[in-house]
């Protein structure tokens, strides 16, 4: 087995020492600081970006809050306007309704008064006409002139009886 030949030990150990020490020095002094630096730079950059992102997020949140507040304000204002308009409309309607009702009532009573007057007038006329008709008819029947007062008395008696 070649591994157990002691004459090969010295050169192997010598070159192991040389190459490994060289590798160690190159890694220690040159390469590892370089890689470490790159990794650290990247980590710093990432942290930086994350911080910036967090800040922007906060800003966006503030803007959103302000926007929402504005919207809420606008909405309550609109609600207020709608309510005021509704009240005004209701008040106007009630007023107009009242005015109309009053007007109609006035017209109605006016009309009733006129109807009553017309009825009275008509009744009065009826009596006069009835008296004249009675006077004429009775004159023809009995063959003599019936006086106004007689006719009036007879018609008045019938009317009074009717009205009773």
Partner 1 sequence: MAAEGHSPLAQFEIKTLIPLKMGEIDVSFTNSALFMTLTLVLVTLFLVLGMRQRALVPGRWQSMAELSYEFVANMLRDNVGNDGRKYFPFVFSLFMFILFGNMLGMIPYSFTFTSHIIVTFALAAVVFIGVTVLGFVKHGFHFFSFFVPPGVSVALWPLLIPIEIISYLSRPVSLSVRLFANMLAGHTLLKVFAGFIISLGIYFGWVPLAFVVALSGLEILIAFLQAYVFTILTCLYINDALHMH
> Cβ 83 to partner 1, closest distance in Å?
60
Nearer to partner 1 among residue 19 and residue 107 (C-beta): 19
Report CA-CA distances (Å) from 6 to 1, 13, 18, 57, 120: 11, 11, 19, 70, 160
Closest distance of CB 51 from partner 1, Å: 17
Output the smallest distance, CB 80 to partner 1, in A.
Answer: 56
Distances (CA, A) of 154 to 4, 29, 36, 121, 132: 175, 154, 143, 21, 11
**Binding-site string for partner 1 from residue 86 to residue 105, where x marks contact by CB under 8 A and - marks none:** --------------------
**Restricting to residues 11-50, which ones interact with partner 1 according to CB under 8 A?**
11-20, 22-24, 26-28, 30-32, 34-39, 41-42, 45
Q: Which stretch binds partner 1 (CB under 8 A): 9-17, 62-70, 75-83, 134-142?
A: 9-17
- Asked if 53 touches partner 1 (CB under 8 A), the answer is no
SS3 126: helix
Cβ neighbour number for residue 131 with a 10 Å cutoff = 19
Question: String of b and e for 40-62 (b: at least 16 CB within 10 Å)?
Answer: eeeeeeeeeeeeeeeeeeeeeee
Applying CB under 8 A, which residues contact partner 1? 1-5, 7-20, 22-24, 26-28, 30-32, 34-39, 41-42, 45
């Amino acid at each position: 087995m070649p591994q157990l030949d002691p004459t090969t030990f010295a050169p192997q150990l010598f070159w192991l020492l040389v190459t490994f020490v060289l590798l160690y020095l190159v890694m220690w002094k040159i390469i590892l600081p370089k890689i470490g630096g790159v990794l650290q730079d990247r980590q710093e950059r990432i942290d930086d970006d994350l911080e910036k992102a967090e800040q922007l997020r906060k800003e966006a949140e503030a803007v959103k809050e302000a926007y929402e507040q504005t919207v809420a304000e606008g909405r309550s204002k609109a609600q207020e306007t709608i309510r005021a308009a509704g009240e005004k409309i209701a008040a106007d309607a009630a007023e107009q309704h009242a005015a109309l009702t009053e007007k109609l009532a006035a017209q109605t009573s006016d009309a009733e008064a006129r109807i009553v007057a017309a009825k009275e007038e008509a009744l009065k006329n009826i009596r006069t006409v009835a008296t004249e008709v009675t006077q004429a008819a009775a004159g023809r029947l009995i063959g003599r002139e019936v006086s106004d007062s007689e006719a009036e008395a007879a018609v008045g008696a019938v009317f009074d009886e009717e009205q009773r």
